[in-house]
Structure 1
């Protein structure tokens, strides 16, 4: 998304941000850019409404693949300043993967539906704080959204941003980041390459970020609010490293779309133990599940994993068909009224009220 400073007169949000409405919208692809050999940015025009989002929030796209519509969740790469345009930066997965389909099939003029925005992963909720933005691989996308937002608004926040990539050619947004840094004197950018290729000339930081590397970059970790996104192992490592350098755990935020950790209930060890489970039939198997847990969580504990995105009933990624029985569902816009009437539920926010039979969406 092109930088646009014409929207920079808005006041910095206060604590307790208003939630932008999460609902279905129609998008038209108006441009795509090859960021790296396997990463593409898709720029969309919002056709039927405006889509306002906080920097770092996410959206769910409905992808009309040959085998049926696949709903996938992506962090928005756009700043959120212009509600008429949104963009996502997507790394292609293996053949047959929905992200690979996007790379091969989506071209300007294509129209798709989307739901969103959602998520609490945003610096806009922390006004006036020194920031640390850390992204590993395509996990740098929400950091770019935040930097674009800060730049477009001409903010003067103290920001340190770390991008970690496997090879030099995998570093994202390098030219644009250079332009942003030239206009933000309080921004410090650090690139880290974990495994430079034999033919790549690289004189910057190498290897995985550790305590010595962080201290060399900046010695004031403890006073910052940190945002981190990337593979689970990467985020866990950064949590340990930054914590050891003095960062309060409450100031370390990861992209989890607001999902709260849920205790997984275990079945009783013996038949004599009390167990008030509910019979849930799904994918040809019958599971005895606890009625006080969301279906997505309870089924995952039995080895039946359902694709999820927001975990809050907003994105529609975990949509299922309810064939028999009743559930208690507390969705937040992930399904339309028509979809509810057609028998769809969201597994992340539905609990069985009795025996139920479920099926994957057609």
Structure 2
């Protein structure tokens, strides 16, 4: 499968906007002032995984930590949908930024991206955010564990170390369904070939169509981990993948007596996040009786929200239906205009400073400091 490249006229315009590319350091891209990026390449990684590369129209460069994510603001079938995707590119190559997306059966966003987004298209994007990064946890030895599309943040970290010629002691173990499902297999092998202390291992559940596979098959286990990374107890561990995979990893590390302070995980399963954000018991699901009044102006609903309760949680408990996705201040889906009142908002990158200055808030991570009137 061939990568899609910018058509001639678009490429010429792109080159014109980036004159003096090699002669000067481009300005930093700021999503508050330039919220739209241009897709400059689409690359097939496997049969159901594609990487989408973006550039700033004015030629700005990107600054982020390896492992962070960006939020895409999309319009699909007339509906506004926000979705977070981990950056898969290296921050040491700042002129483009990429995400790597697996097609999910029935997934409205992943299927739309695979079927519609092409080189030359423009997409609204929120700046990089997130705390899952090895940059915040420097160590002499790392263990990267990933499964499926959870490879993306760890690939960004691996690429960053490689680009910076930082030959850190890294063992990267990736789990896939079959050998044909291994994302970035060739590139990881090339990094391992050029970095003396970078070792990569792949383990597949089954062979699939590829019969020349000589690597291990089955699921990652403590016994397999001890074989592939005998000194794993001495390493800083970063994990990303489906929720069952990460739960299994936590269980095996706990069994081995691994120190949890050196364990870090990340997941962008929105279905899981939504389930976790729902009230778990009837006693917690009752509307608050003491607190602040929240008035939803358009729907003419009024609820009470406790001072230590997020507005979205109080609204759900009271039966008010509001659009939401991550419930952690990352994606921006629950963004609304605050007409009056003040809140304590602790977001994780799902809103621009310009929008905050205009009175917008994210209900999922906002606690009321007064009575509120919301434009919803």
Q: Report the TM-score, using the length of structure 1 for normalisation.
A: 0.80
CA contact (8 A) 1:79 1:148 kept: yes
Deviations 1:185-239 (A, max 9, x none): 1111111112332664433222221111111112211110000001112111111
Higher helix share: 2
Which residue does 2:73 correspond to in 1? Answer: 62
Alignment of 1:27-176 (within 5 A): 27-48=37-58, 49-95=60-106, 97-176=108-187
Aligned-partner SS, 2:213: coil
In the aligned structure 2, how far is the partner of 1:224 from the partner of 1:22?
36
Count of equivalent residues: 335
Alignment of 1:278-357 (within 5 A): 278=292, 288-299=304-315, 306-308=324-326, 311-312=328-329, 315-322=330-337, 326-330=341-345, 334-336=350-352, 339-340=355-356, 344-352=360-368, 353-354=370-371, 356-357=373-374
Q: Report the TM-score, using the length of structure 2 for normalisation.
A: 0.77
Q: Note the aligned Cα RMSD (angstroms).
A: 3.5
CA contact (8 A) 2:38 2:122 kept: yes
Aligned-partner SS, 1:206: coil
CA contact (8 A) 1:61 1:73 kept: yes
Does the C-alpha gap of structure 1 residues 96 and 151 become closer, same or farther in structure 2, counting only changes over 3 Å? closer
CA contact (8 A) 1:52 1:82 kept: no
Q: CA deviation at 1:111?
A: 1.3
Query: Greater relative contact order: 1 or 2 (C-alpha under 8 angstroms, separation 6 or more)?
Result: 1
Does the C-alpha gap of structure 1 residues 201 and 302 become closer, same or farther in structure 2, counting only changes over 3 Å? farther
Q: CA deviation at 1:75?
A: 0.4
Unaligned runs of 5+ in 2: 4-28
Does the C-alpha gap of structure 1 residues 170 and 280 become closer, same or farther in structure 2, counting only changes over 3 Å? farther
Q: CA deviation at 1:277?
A: 4.8
In the aligned structure 1, how far is the partner of 2:352 from the partner of 2:222?
48
Aligned-partner SS, 2:162: helix
Which residue does 2:290 correspond to in 1? Answer: 276
